[in-house]
Structures are given as C-alpha cells and as structure tokens.
Amino acid sequence: MSGIDFQKFGLVGAGLVGGSIAARLARALPDTVLLVHDASPGNAAYVAERHPRSERVGTIAPLAGCDAIFVATPVATIAEQVVTLLQLPNSDALIIDTGSAKQAIVAAVATSGADAGRFVPGHPLAGGISAGPGRASGDIVTARPFVLTPTESTGAEALAHAKILLERLGAEVVEMTPDAHDRLLALGSHLPHLIAYALAGLGTDEPGDLLPASYRGIAAFAGSDAQMWSDIFRANSAELKAAMEEFKKRLDLIAAMADEPVPGVLLETLTDAKARIDALENEE
C-alpha cells in the first residue's frame, strides 16, 4: 500500500458512477491526477473533461502506478477488472469497486486466486435510476452512504485507507457484510425495480391516458437502463428471488384480508404499513 498521501488515481468505467467520482475528486482533491479508462472513448473523454488533471488511457496497464483505483464498470464485468488490476505487476494500488451486488463480485475475485488484500468492495447507495455519464454528479458519492463490504481477504490497512479516502471525498462510509448488503439492496432496490418492470409489462392493453398516477409512478422505475438492470438482476438473483418470495407472500396475505368477513384485520395491516412509511419519511 502506498499510504494515505493519495496523489494519483485510476478510474475504470466512465459511466454514471465513474463520472461522479471524477467530479468529486476534482472538487475535493483538486491537485491529484486521474487516469481514466473506458471501453467507450466517448464516455472516457466526457469524464476526463470533468477533472482538470485527468488523462484518458487506452489500456488498463498504466493504472499500475496509481495510489488508488475505482472500478465502476457494469456490475457483470467488475470482478474481471478487479482481478486484472490485482495482477498488474509492480502495483500496490488500493482498489475500490462500486458494484451494486457484492457477493458475486467477492466470490469471483476469491475464485481467481489473486491476492485480494488491496481490494475493498464498495457501493455508493445513490447510484441511481439512470445510467450513463450525462447524469453524473458529485452527489452520487455524497448524497447517500457509501457502503463498504470487506471480506476475510480484505487487508485491514486497505480498509482503513479506503475509509480515509472516501471521507476526504465527503462520503459517509457504512460497513456491512456482502451478504447483508445484497439482502438490503435486493429488498430496497432490486425488488422495487423488478416490480416496476413486471407492472410495466401488464398495462399496455389499457389506454395510456386512463392509467392512474400510482401505476405510472411505480412503473416509471422501469424507465431505467435495461442493460444495467439485466446485469444487476443476474448478479444478485438469489437474494432478489428470496426478497420476491417474501413480497409475494405479503401480497397474498393482504389480498386474503380483503375477503375476510370483518374489515378490521385489513384496516389494521394497512394502518401499520402507513405508520412505517410515515416514520421513514419523517426520518429524512
């Protein structure tokens, strides 16, 4: 590890989250250098423009000399990129990824046999609805907690340095296991998007101007990037299905209450759900 005197950064993946990281680096640590690599020259050039001392690189090799590297590619390709970076010769770079499903990434990196001591799995929770660098903003790093999910392989020093770096960027860091993260995201993000895609597939025979606001409001989450969500559903399919089964049971339970002879049970259940949502909204 090259310590906490971060001078030179690497970024692999110049999409929504990568663009936000570049913008945040430019603002919080303006004297540092950023090397940007992305398969799309357009994306890489866009992000490079947002950081005054950044440089686009055509291959991943030049990142070996960085103090810290962020991997913000689509979730399906993150593990491969992390393993390649870990195996670059003469590199002691800290590596932080931003994928929204952690167990699959952590497992694939472990299976590769690479020494993963320098790799700190992460996920900025504000990594939003739509993909692509055009929506990028420093807010994605700072607006919501930045979760880190260290494993037994993660070096204590790497974890400590990752926390220091993210806090310098203005992030609130929260630590949890990859399993806990994936369950939280399955319930809180992946299932809601699955719900939106399922609902959006049902309403097309109805005249659009007759579809009520609640249908539109929920199905609107299916307007997200299909490739990104296809990757996420596949990467976290086990936890997603577990959350979905719980959700389906809950649907059945409430629907059954609608047929009970007395209305009290249904009313109590809906009142309880409303109280939880009101409490959540009052927290903000």
Chain residues 174-213 in contact with a second copy, contact rule CB under 8 A? 174, 184-185, 187-189, 191-204, 206, 208-213
Q: What are phi and psi of 6, to 5 degrees?
A: -70, 120
As measured in angstroms, the least distance from the Cβ of 80 to a second copy is 15
User: Does 173 help bind a second copy (rule: CB under 8 A)?
Assistant: no
Secondary structure (DSSP) of 44-98? HHHHHHTSTTEEE-SSSGGGGG-SEEEE-S-GGGHHHHHHHHHTSTT---EEEE-
Judged by CB under 8 A, the number of residues near a second copy is 85
Secondary structure (DSSP) of 165-182? HHHHTTPPEEE--HHHHH
As measured in angstroms, the least distance from the Cβ of 18 to a second copy is 19
Strands (E), the chain: 8-12, 33-37, 54-56, 68-71, 94-97, 119-120, 122-124, 146-148, 173-175
Measured from the CB atom, is 39 or 253 closer to a second copy?
253
User: Does 40 help bind a second copy (rule: CB under 8 A)?
Assistant: no
Interaction residues for a second copy, span 9-38 (CB under 8 A): none
Measured from the CB atom, is 54 or 100 closer to a second copy?
100
Alpha carbon distance 59, 212 (integer Å)? 50
Interaction residues for a second copy, span 216-245 (CB under 8 A): 216-224, 226-227, 229-231, 233-234, 237, 240-241, 243-244
Measured from the CB atom, is 156 or 279 closer to a second copy?
279
Over its C-alpha atoms, the chain yields an Rg (Å, rounded) of 21
Measured from the CB atom, is 114 or 173 closer to a second copy?
173
User: Does 247 help bind a second copy (rule: CB under 8 A)?
Assistant: yes
